Structure 1
Amino acid sequence: MSLAQEKSDLRRHFRRARQQLDKHERTRATRAAGRALKRYIRRGRRIGIYWPIGSELRLDGFIQTALQRGAKLYLPYIEKNTLRLWFTPYRADARHAERRRGKSALYIPQFSGKKIRAHHLDVLLVPLVGIDKQGFRLGQGGGYYDVSLAALRGRLQPHTVGVGFACQLCERLPREAHDRQLDAFVCEQGIMRFQTAS
């Protein structure tokens, strides 16, 4: 089996596991993960968040608390013809989006505003399809976070935190040379911190 096929099968597996969480389990897990994430909130801290796609863990409670505590939130901004992400100030209302990116149910609002790169963030919450116990993630397959995280090498780096449900954690994922280890994973079971891979 090719690496591409293996990753495709894993994405299907993790998405199915995430979608099979019943409403009460999902609500409980989302609240528990949100409580764990609150330790990353500090007044004035710049935090990169994400707009959830499909069954990804929602950040509504975290966002509300972060704004109340004076954190500055940023959403990914995708420029045409490049995979490296910019981040623009968070706006709660998708109706104020400058444009939408993506197709069908995967529309991602893109907001205008002063753009910054990931190395200007203090914390970056990273969505994922799967993650292993060493901190390597499996994303949607678009490559945006892979390219953006790779561009951090040799720069001041934000604390990178994968966010999802416990059912998205596995022992070990297949890796490629461009894959970058995250600093932590937060789910309903708490915070898992990773030792730097040698």
Structure 2
Amino acid sequence: MNQTVRQQKNELRRLFRTERNRLGRNERRHAEQAVIRRLKPLVRRGKKIAAYWAMGSELNLSVLFQTASERGATVYLPYIEPGRKRMWFTPYCANAQAERKRGRSRLHVPQFAGRKVRADRLDVMLLPVVAADRQGYRLGQNGGYYDATLARCRFGRPLRIAVGFSCQLTDNLPHEAHDMPLHGFVSERHNLRFNGRHFVK
């Protein structure tokens, strides 16, 4: 990676995490409710929807898990094998015990057993972001897992939608050839579509 781009990305991560951490409890709750309302049209019977387990101050989608179950959709969560970048996804079950937890420090992300599927077998992928821009690029945690996973997908599947707070949207982010573009970004104030893809009214 170009050192200048790496430095720019790291500085932007610091700035956007600071902005996200400043959000108050009520502000976060109202934003999360608004985002879930915007995403509900995607949650339909038979759909396979990849979500994520919120880490730290990321936007929490857990209420959407219940909505999906009620509507006959299936939520999948990332499953990362030790030493691998390309992710699998396993179905989430509300009463299931985590098979194991991954992560460092206080951020232990549960992973669930179940039939593993690759990303291109999913209909929709909801991605966490540190930041997103109006050109369709996201800034992640710097792990490279989503880029490595999506690089192997073909034919526009799954639909890639970043979700976050409005304070995480900016005009332009530095990006490189391996950064996989999004199809959309949804926040409490935004329903942005990229690459001509229409997904949420």
Same fold? TM cut 0.5: yes
Aligned to 2:80: 78
Paired residue secondary structure (1:53): coil
Paired residue secondary structure (1:104): coil
Aligned to 2:39: 37
1:185 aligns with 2:185: yes
More deviation, 55-64/85-94: 85-94
State the 1:156 CA deviation. 5.6
1:22 aligns with 2:24: yes
Aligned pairs, how many?
194
Structural mapping, 1:115-154, within 5 Å:
115-152=116-153, 154=154
Aligned to 1:168: 168
TM-score (norm 1): 0.94
More deviation, 187-196/63-72: 187-196
Paired residue secondary structure (1:145): helix
**Matched-pair identity in %:** 52
CA distance in 1 between counterparts of 2:107 and 2:87 reads 17
Aligned to 1:111: 112
Which of residues 48, 61, 64 in structure 2 aligns to 1:62? 64
One-letter identity of the residue aligned with 2:135: Q
On the 8 A contact 1:134/1:195 being kept in 2, the answer is no
CA distance in 2 between counterparts of 1:193 and 1:175 reads 18
Q: Deviations over 1:9-42 (max 9, x none)?
A: 1001111111101111111111111100111111
CA distance in 2 between counterparts of 1:156 and 1:185 reads 16
Gaps of 5+ in 1: none
State the 1:151 CA deviation. 1.0
CA distance in 1 between counterparts of 2:111 and 2:63 reads 21
State the 1:190 CA deviation. 3.5
State the 1:111 CA deviation. 0.8
Paired residue secondary structure (1:84): coil
On the 8 A contact 1:77/1:87 being kept in 2, the answer is yes
One-letter identity of the residue aligned with 1:51: W
CA distance in 2 between counterparts of 1:121 and 1:13 reads 32
Structure 1 residues 187, 105: closer, same or farther in 2, change over 3 A?
A: same
On the 8 A contact 1:97/1:110 being kept in 2, the answer is yes
TM-score (norm 2): 0.92
CA distance in 2 between counterparts of 1:68 and 1:161 reads 22
Paired residue secondary structure (1:115): coil
Paired residue secondary structure (1:13): helix
State the 1:64 CA deviation. 1.4
